[in-house]
Homo-oligomer: A and B are copies of this chain.
């Protein structure tokens, strides 16, 4: 069900020939019956932000958090496309707005795909009537929307989180170029919880901070990242905390799905740093380990070479005393008190061959803790990314 699981939403996905392959590439998520509801979004921090990001930011500011629809395309990022790109993004919002009878600034726009090419606006405009006509609230409708936003993802990613009296649904696309803040990723979250735009924005910020922003695949921050949240208000009134909790659960689930399906990944790696001098330093250290090509390559090889982990911790900028550090691969302690700890190397390598592995680093200095989700680095990543055309 994903985005249509909460009450008050409809979705659709069609093929608009933006992708040369003819695969689905245009999706729509709307509050249903049509009309503006509470909306919020977080966007990429990249200063080369794509046209749809600029338009969506402007729309959201103009309405102060009232959103009727999110239109998303894959197959073209509409980034680095100048004034023509901005006009194309604005126009796609306008065509949707006219079709469902809402204001243009009540429509958000998201794009993903290659940077540079112009959006084929004529094809997009021609496809929008069919996109609106096929809106529905079934599981299949939501699945079609989730399918239409994919790029190099191998499958759609959806989630539903049920709570007493309200629920959260979500869909996401990711694949490569995933890093704080944020992934190359588009996500739409829906909820029937009753909450105002300000509360929704706060809850979304908390949820994204503890999920997508703690995921790093290759350290690259894209031009197009957007996470949108819409609240229909058809369920019960909620406190900020309980909505943030449900959104966080949904986002964490989607972030894990992103890591699992990242380009060329063979395993998901959870890097946990504890005992840092501060939470900030724990994050810094965890990210240094999680983004190290040498660590990631040895994880691809299921090679328990803790020396690289230690070296990254020492070079991370976080306070570090080698005598106090311990390093574990899952259950196995491999380094403590300044020295390697005798361990069963074949068993540790077998552990590292799993689909999900944990790398636990305790700095022994304070109470700062952080977890960063990452992936291994193998030839699949290179195959996917060495040529774009």
Binding site for B on A (CB under 8 A): 45-49, 77, 79-83, 114-116, 176-177, 218-223, 291-294, 297-298, 300-301, 303, 305-308, 310-315, 320-322, 335, 337-340, 377-379, 381-382, 385-389
Q: Are B77 and A298 closer than 8 Å at their CB atoms?
A: no
8 A-B pairs (CB sep. < 8 Å): A79-B307, A80-B338, A116-B306, A219-B293, A222-B311, A293-B377, A297-B385, A379-B382
CA distance A301 to B308 in the complex (A): 28
Query: Which of A49, A291, A312, A315 has the most CB atoms of chain B within a 10 A radius of its CB?
Result: A315
> Does the CB pair A377–B388 fall under 8 Å?
no
| CB-nearest residue of chain B to A321 | B47
**B220, A292: Cβ atoms under 8 Å?**
yes
Closest to A293 in B: B218
Q: Please, which residues of chain B bring their CB within 8 A of the CB of A379? A: 379, 382
Give the residue name and chain of the B residue nearest to A339 (CB): B82
Q: Quick one: given A48-B314, A294-B176, are A116 and B307 in contact (CB under 8 Å)?
A: yes
Question: B residues within 8 A CB of A222?
Answer: 311
Contacts A80-B335, A221-B311 aside, 9 further interface pairs with beta carbons under 8 A come to A47-B315, A47-B322, A82-B337, A114-B307, A115-B305, A176-B294, A220-B293, A220-B315, A377-B382
Q: Within the assembled complex, what's the spacing in Å between the Cα atoms of A294 and B116?
A: 16
Residue of B nearest to A222 (CB): B311
Q: Are B46 and A311 in contact (CB under 8 A)?
A: yes
How many angstroms between the C-alpha atoms of A79 and B381 in the bound complex? 31
**Are B311 and A48 in touch, CB under 8 angstroms?**
yes
The reply to whether A381 and B297 contact each other, CB–CB distance below 8 Å, is yes
Provided the pairs A308-B115, A315-B45, A382-B382 are in contact, do residues A388 and B303 lie with their beta carbons within 8 angstroms?
Answer: yes
Which single residue of chain B is at the shortest CB-CB distance from A323?
Answer: B82
**A340 pairs with B377, CB closer than 8 A:** no
Note all chain B residues with C-beta closer than 8 A to A47: 314-315, 320-322
- A48-B322, A293-B293, A315-B45 given; A80·B386 CB < 8 A: no
A331 to B292 Cα, complex, angstroms: 33
* Chain B residues with CB below 8 A from A338, complex form: 80, 82-83
In the bound assembly, the distance between CA atoms of A300 and B383 in angstroms comes to: 10
Determine how close the nearest CB of chain B comes to the CB of A83; give it in whole angstroms: 8
Q: Identify the closest chain B residue to A291 (Cβ).
A: B219
Please name all residues of chain B whose beta carbon is closer than 8 Å to the beta carbon of A382 when the two chains form the complex: 297, 300, 377-379, 382
Tell me the nearest residue of chain B to A318, going by C-beta.
B47
**Cβ–Cβ < 8 Å partners of A297 in chain B:** 381-382, 385-386
Interchain nearest-CB distance for A50 vs B (Å): 9
- Asked whether, in the complex, the Cβ of A320 is within 8 Å of the Cβ of B48, the reply is yes
A220 touching B48 by the CB < 8 A rule? no
A45 CA to B80 CA, complexed, in Å: 38
Of chain B, the residue at the smallest CB distance from A80 is: B310
In the complex, A388→B388 CA distance in Å?
Answer: 32
Q: A116-B306, A177-B294, A389-B303 are in contact. Are A311 and B220 (CB under 8 A)?
A: yes
Chain B: minimal CB distance from A61 (Å): 20
